[in-house]
């Protein structure tokens, strides 16, 4: 089993991130990150809900207008819109994504995204064999 450490932003203690079976409640995590000062101060907030050496799953909340700056990720990534709408742009074109839409990006594919309204994303990163850690925040 793997736990995270308490941080200044989340001082309540450790949180289970990896186990042989792990139940994840997206609504509970959204409620939690909406209460944090980071959400009040910034245009986004996120929480990692699963992490091992191969996969990281993050729930991300974006305010309307928040942008994931142009970047390339050294991993296979999926982004699923749980609520809201986001404009996603890559070398393949531009697409407005809404609830239920998923985009899959292979490693080293440049992209950017802008939340058109408050948006909840479920991001899954499948780490490369090189073990390079990536971040979409």
Domain-wise residue ranges, the chain: 2-127
- Residue 41: pLDDT over 90: yes
Q: Which fold has domain 2-127?
A: Jelly Rolls (2.60.120)
Question: What's the confidence (pLDDT) of residue 37?
Answer: 93
Burial of 61 (0-12, 13-18, 19+ CB in 10 A): buried
More confident of the two residues 86 and 21: 86
Instruction: Give the lowest-confidence range in 8-12, 14-18, 82-86.
Output: 8-12
| Beta-ladder partners of 125 | 56, 77
Give the global pTM. Answer: 0.83
Strands laid side by side in the 75-83 sheet:
44-51, 55-62, 119-127, 75-83, 102-105
Average per-residue pLDDT for the chain:
86
- Residue 48: pLDDT over 60: yes
- Residue 134: pLDDT over 60: no
Residue pair 135/99 in contact (Cβ under 8 Å)? The answer is no
Residue 65 per-residue DSSP state: T
Residue pair 63/44 in contact (Cβ under 8 Å)? The answer is yes
């Amino acid at each position: 089993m793997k736990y995270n450490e308490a941080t200044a932003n989340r001082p309540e203690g450790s949180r289970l991130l990896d186990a042989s079976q792990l139940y994840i409640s997206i609504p509970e995590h959204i409620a939690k990150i909406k209460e944090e000062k980071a959400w009040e101060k910034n245009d986004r907030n996120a929480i990692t809900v699963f992490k091992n050496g191969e996969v990281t799953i993050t729930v991300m909340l974006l305010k309307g207008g928040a942008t994931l700056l142009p970047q390339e990720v050294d991993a296979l990534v999926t982004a699923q819109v749980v609520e809201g709408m986001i404009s996603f742009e890559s070398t393949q074109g531009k697409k407005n994504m809404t609830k239920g839409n998923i985009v899959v990006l292979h490693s080293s594919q440049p992209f950017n995204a802008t939340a058109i309204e408050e948006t909840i994303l479920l991001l899954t990163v499948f780490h490369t064999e090189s073990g390079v850690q990536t971040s979409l925040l």
